[in-house]
A and B are shown apart, each in its own frame.
Chain A
Amino acid sequence: MKREEIKEKLKEIIKPYVQNEDAFQKLTEDTNLLMDLEVNSAHLVDIILDMEEAFDIEIDDESAERMMTVGEALSISEKLIGEKD
């Protein structure tokens, strides 16, 4: 799966939990999930669970801890998907 494909899938996953639509429209890899998109921190767990299901990966605590921006979520997904192939 290419980075752009992963990004599109990731946007679909994140969308239902976004509270700041404007920030979502202007989304970049630097966009912070909590601060910019205003995702409720309780829903960060749901995003992680959704990513695991969508990409058939397992995100451990150490990886999840760094997952604050769209770019970091993308890099973690890309790495874990790569390790699986």
Chain B
Amino acid sequence: MIGNDLVYLPHWPQRTGGRQTRFLHKVYTPSEIDLIRSLPEHGEALLWSMKEAAYKVYYRKQPVTFYAPRAFVALVTEVHEQWISGAVSYGNSVWLTRSGIEDDYLLTIAIDHSDHGVFEGVETAWSDFSGREDVYTVTNKAGNSLRILKDEFGIPYFESGSGFHQLPVSLSHDGKRLACSWLRSDKGD
């Protein structure tokens, strides 16, 4: 399973004073606030997108919307040159995350803990976002055009001849750009 979340960093809200303090305590746990302060930059946006991406994986299995950012606890495990590895837990569930920044876009991918090591199999296709659609079309690295449909809960899947393909895909946009991320199957999708 996979979940992604996109944040356009220049649009991350800059809050100040008391509102910033209240914001931090509504969204992050005390240990996360310490972590944010220890990171050189973009800590708030990073942990936010990790929580969101993990929530999207969770939602695929339990499609009920709820709002509990402090219940999804994020931690950073390794800072690489090109990405930041982390983990997010909620109850007994744990997801692994990988976040990277390109052209001011912060993208986090979350996968199930049991899928450890498959980040290399994740492909992300970028396109311009032109409003919420019933069907999205993306082009994979192999040059194939793939159609994405959503089920009754709004969960996206690749279309196949026989209805919903079992290959899950995750969508995230900032109003301008759309990132579609999926785990490549053996068939080269």
Kindly identify which residue among B7, B13, B52, B68 contacts A65, using a CB–CB cutoff of 8 Å.
B68
State whether B67 touches A67 (Cβ < 8 A). yes
Give the distance in Å from the alpha carbon of A35 to the alpha carbon of B64 in the complex.
11
Give the distance in Å from the alpha carbon of A34 to the alpha carbon of B69 in the complex.
14
State whether A64 touches B67 (Cβ < 8 A). yes
B116 adjacent to chain A (CB < 8 Å): no
State whether B65 touches A32 (Cβ < 8 A). yes
Identify which of B22-30, B34-42, B83-91, B98-106 touches chain A.
Answer: B22-30
State whether A66 touches B66 (Cβ < 8 A). yes
A78 adjacent to chain B (CB < 8 Å): no
Give the distance in Å from the alpha carbon of A64 to the alpha carbon of B68 in the complex.
7
State whether B19 touches A49 (Cβ < 8 A). yes
Chain A's closest residue to B64 (CB) is: A68
The 8 A CB mask of A47-68 against B (1 = contact, 0 = none) is 0110010000000010011111
Q: Which residues of B does A touch, CB under 8 Å?
A: 7, 13, 19, 22-23, 26-27, 48, 52, 65-71, 132, 154, 175
What are 21 A-B interface contacts by the 8 Å CB criterion?
A20-B132, A34-B65, A35-B65, A35-B154, A41-B52, A41-B67, A42-B7, A42-B13, A44-B67, A45-B23, A45-B69, A48-B26, A49-B19, A49-B26, A61-B68, A64-B26, A64-B68, A65-B71, A66-B66, A67-B67, A68-B67
